Structure 1
Amino acid sequence: MTHPVIAGVDGSASSLEAVEVAAREAHLRGASLRIVHAFGHQSAGHGLEPMTQGVLARAEERARAIAPGVAVTRSVVAGEAVQVLEIESRSASLAVVGSRGLSGFSGLLLGSTAVHLAGHGQCPLMVMRGRPDPAGPVVLAVDGSEAGAGAVEFAFTEAALRKAPLVAVHVWNTWSERAYEGPGDPLNAAVVDAEHLREAEQHLLDESVAAWQEKFPEVVVERSLVRSRIRPALIDASGGAQLVVVGARGRGGFTGLLLGSVSQALLHHAHCPVTVVRGEE
């Protein structure tokens, strides 16, 4: 049985956009949609019931207009949005939230909420950002780490569901932390054989996507090896894309941290929606 897609709503325009996207995702997956509205304890006793029902009714109306065949349920939970969605994510295939909110999701990308959900949620988190190009590719940030393998699988699956091309981007530079067999000290940028390192990074990229390309032969894949600073290069790659997929924490991440700087940079600055996929514990 396919786990449901969940959408966090508070009545804001951004959260209603998230509901529409979540409804499409549920339709593509053959899954149900669960609309989740969280309210803090400070909201109790302030006309909560009529407001909540209005929020949910508008959200469900938008969802049914987008995907009339998808089964929709509502969930109203007392508690802070971040904790509520973290719990809801345990039984979901995907969580979708807006980038701005009115109450429970207020300041989503200005504070720690998105970072917390991306780092602690039990399913992939899609955050609505920018203006996605519906004809654009799914962009996958490849780092070659074991933690990033889930992002590779998700990106190929998503590209297949959307019937979209996939651009697998791997960014490297002479400060790449991956050691390689070659002349000189691989950890000393001053003596790095840049061409040899480029070949090693190309091999990493090829190896990361080869098996999944065989499993999804219908997906047109472009492999893009970019020599640059990682965060600006991936933000730039998000322009003209319909979705960017990234692992929560990749190569070079510090033990114990649940979300890396690259993931955070994309959550704050990407030009299209971002999905963060956590690796296996």
Structure 2
Amino acid sequence: MTAKIVIGLDGTEAGERAIAFAKDLAGRIDGSELLVVYVIEWSPFTFQTPEENAQRHKRREEEIETAMTRVVTPAVESLKAAGFSAQGVVRHGDVAETLNAITVENNGSQIVVGRSSADGFTKRIFGSATQNLVMHADVPVTVVK
């Protein structure tokens, strides 16, 4: 059985726990592949001048490069060094929607994320990305504590 396991990282310890769980799972499934994903929260609903939009685009590209360099590439290299087939993706967007879309685009069979706790007013009003992902994902989601 071949499986593509998508690991959602957020740059925290929760992501490290997700990687550890995904490695264990992938080690049990012959021919499995790991896809490390980092989503940068980004709202398309900002009205700006053309000059501001050009700066915004440049900033987006810089953020992607930074996330790839600091979070995704080290994770992918570590997974490959441990003998796993792995690759990485960084994208802007709504975390839950984008992580699910990347999973579907890449024929992922499961998503693994770490639970990081968001508290307070924002979570009560909008919910967390993890909650939204669990409720709306097209594949099973494992939330690692």
TM-score between both structures, scaled by the size of structure 2: 0.71
Unpaired runs of at least 5, structure 1: 1-133, 176-188
Aligned equivalent of 1:197: 63
Listed one character per residue, the Cα deviations across residues 40-76 of structure 1 (whole Å, up to 9, x for unaligned) are xxxxxxxxxxxxxxxxxxxxxxxxxxxxxxxxxxxxx
2:23 pairs with 145, 156, 164, which one?
156
1:1-281 superposed matches below 5 A: 135-163=2-30, 164-173=32-41, 193-203=59-69, 204-214=71-81, 216-217=82-83, 219-239=84-104, 240-249=107-116, 253-254=118-119, 261-278=128-145
| Matched residue SS, 2:13 | coil
1:192, distance to aligned residue in structure 2 (A): 7.0
CA contact (8 A) 2:2 2:29 kept: no
2: distance between equivalents of 1:270 and 1:173? 17
The structure having more radius of gyration, on CA atoms, is 1
Quickly say closer, same or farther: Cα 1:199–1:191, change in 2 above 3 A.
closer
Unaligned runs of 5+ in 2: 44-54
Tell whether the 8 Å contact from 1:152 to 1:209 is kept in structure 2 after alignment.
Answer: no
1:136 deviation in Å? 3.9
Q: Secondary structure at the match of 1:268?
A: helix
Aligned-partner SS, 1:241: coil
CA 1:191–1:232 in 2, change beyond 3 Å: closer, same or farther?
Answer: closer
Instruction: Specify which structure has the higher proportion of strand.
Output: 2
Q: Which runs of 4+ in 1 moved over 6 A?
A: none
* Pairwise CA distance, 1:196: 2.1
| 1:144–1:208 contact (8 Å) kept in structure 2 | no
Residues 268 and 224 (structure 1), Cα distance of their counterparts in 2 relative to 1, 3 Å cut: same
Q: Do the aligned partners of residues 210 and 247 (structure 1) sit closer, same or farther apart at CA in structure 2, a change above 3 Å counting?
A: same
Q: Quick one: distance in 2 between partners of 1:246 and 1:265?
A: 12
| Aligned equivalents of 2:57, 2:97: Cα separation in 1 | 25
Supply the AA of the counterpart residue of 2:13. E
Counterpart contact for 1:243–1:272, Cα < 8 Å: yes
Deviation at 1:191, TM superposition (A): 9.5
Q: With CA pairs under 8 Å and 6+ residues apart, which has the higher RCO, 1 or 2?
A: 2
SS of the residue corresponding to residue 14 of structure 2 reads coil
Compared CA separation, residues 195 and 245, structure 1 to 2 (3 A)? same
Q: Which amino acid aligns with 2:94?
A: R
CA deviation map 1:80-136 (0-9, x unaligned):
xxxxxxxxxxxxxxxxxxxxxxxxxxxxxxxxxxxxxxxxxxxxxxxxxxxxxx644
Shift of 1:249: 1.3
Aligned length: 125
1:153–1:212 contact (8 Å) kept in structure 2: no
Aligned Cα RMSD in Å?
Answer: 2.7
